[in-house]
Amino acid sequence: MEPKQLETLFNKPVVFQGNYALVNDSSLFENQKQTNDSFSEKWVKLDAESSTSSFEKFQKEWVLQLYGFKSEDGFREYLKDKNIIIDAGCGLGYKAAWMAELAPHAVVFGADFSEAAQVAARRYSHINNLYFVRADIADLPFTSGSFDFILCDQVIHHTEVPKKTYFHLAHLLTGKGELACYVYAKKALPRELVDDYFRKATHNFSHQEMWAFSDQLTELGKRLTELNVSFDCPDIPALGIKGGTYDIQRFIYWNFLKCFYHPEWTKGENDSCNFDWYSPSNAERYSPQEFKEWSSEAGLKINFFRSEEAAHTSIACK
C-alpha cells in the first residue's frame, strides 16, 4: 500500500519507519505496565533463542481449531474477501505474518503494547503487505470501520478492561467485518485459587526469579508427563473438577497448577509458556456466558462459538 493510502486508515498522524510505527509504549495503569514489561521480557528472550518449527506449527493448528477452520486452505479461503486485517496483540508477529502470506491481496497490521511489536517488524520486514504498530489495542489509532477481519488471539484478558477493549475492537470493524477473539476460561477452584495467588505474588518476583519459577514448572510438567500414568477421577463438583480418565500431568495442569510441558518444544519455549501464565498481572478468566454477553452488548452477532478447557473463542460480526 502507498504511504498516502496507509495514512487514510489512521485517525491521527502515525509515522512509519519502514514497516514499523511507535504509537504508544506506556500505559497509565500499573497492572498494564507490569503486563507489558513481562511480555517484553518474554518475547525479547524467546526471539533471541532459536525456536522450533513445532512451536509455530502447534500455534497455527490451534488457531484453525479454535476458530472452526477445517484446514489452512479453509482459512485462506475465508481471508479471500478480507482486505484490511489486524492481529491485535500480535506478540512476535508470526500469526500476522501467516495471514499476510495467506492473503497477499490484503494489508495486514500487527499491534502489540510490548517491545514485541518492534521485534516482529524486524523479523518480518521482508513481507511487504505487513506493518506493525506498538500500541494499546484498547485505543488503536485507526479510523472506526477500518477492518474486515480482526484476530485477537490469547490477548484480550491481558488488557486493562477486557470488555472495553472488545467494544473498541468491535467499533473498528467494517459493516461486514468479523472479530475473532479468544478469552481464558475459568477453571477448577484449586487452579483458580493458585492462579490468583501467584498473579499477585509474582508482582514481587524479579524477571530472574520468574524464569527460575517457570523452569521449575516446566520440569514438574516434564516429570509428570514422563510418568505416562492415567487414572479415573470421580466428579468433584464442589471443586469444579470434572470426572473422567486423565493423564496425571493433565489432571494437575487443569485442576491445580499450570505446569506446561510439550516434549517437542525447546526448554525456552516451554519455560516461556509457563512464564506467560504467571507473570502478567492482567489475566482475567471468564465463563462462556460472560464472554458471550460482550458480543450482545457490543451489538455483534456470534457466528461461531467454541469452549474448551483453556479458553472460549468466538467469531462475531455486526
Q: Which residues bind ligand SAM (CB under 6 A)?
A: 32, 35-36, 39, 89-91, 95, 111-114, 116, 136-138, 153-155, 158-159, 276
Q: Which is nearer to ligand SAM, 36 or 246 (CB)?
A: 36
Cell triple for 130? 505487513
Residue type, 302: I
Q: Which is nearer to ligand SAM, 107 or 155 (CB)?
A: 155
Count the neighbouring beta carbons within 10 Å of the beta carbon of residue 159. Answer: 28
Nearest distance from C-beta of residue 127 to ligand SAM, angstroms: 17
Nearest distance from C-beta of residue 4 to ligand SAM, angstroms: 27
Nearest distance from C-beta of residue 116 to ligand SAM, angstroms: 5
Q: Which is nearer to ligand SAM, 86 or 220 (CB)?
A: 86
Cα dihedral sign for 196, 180, 121, 159?
negative
Q: Which is nearer to ligand SAM, 51 or 307 (CB)?
A: 51
Instruction: Classify residue 18 as exposed, middle or buried by CB count within 10 Å of its CB (0-12, 13-18, 19+).
Output: exposed
Cell 464472554, residue located = 291
Q: Which is nearer to ligand SAM, 33 or 242 (CB)?
A: 33
Q: What is the dihedral of CA 308, 311, 94, 73, to 10 degrees?
A: 40
Nearest distance from C-beta of residue 242 to ligand SAM, angstroms: 25
Nearest distance from C-beta of residue 113 to ligand SAM, angstroms: 4
Q: Which is nearer to ligand SAM, 159 or 255 (CB)?
A: 159
Nearest distance from C-beta of residue 281 to ligand SAM, angstroms: 11
Nearest distance from C-beta of residue 317 to ligand SAM, angstroms: 21
Q: Residue with CB nearest ligand SAM?
A: 91
Q: Which is nearer to ligand SAM, 246 or 294 (CB)?
A: 294
CA dist 96 and 109 (Å) reads 7
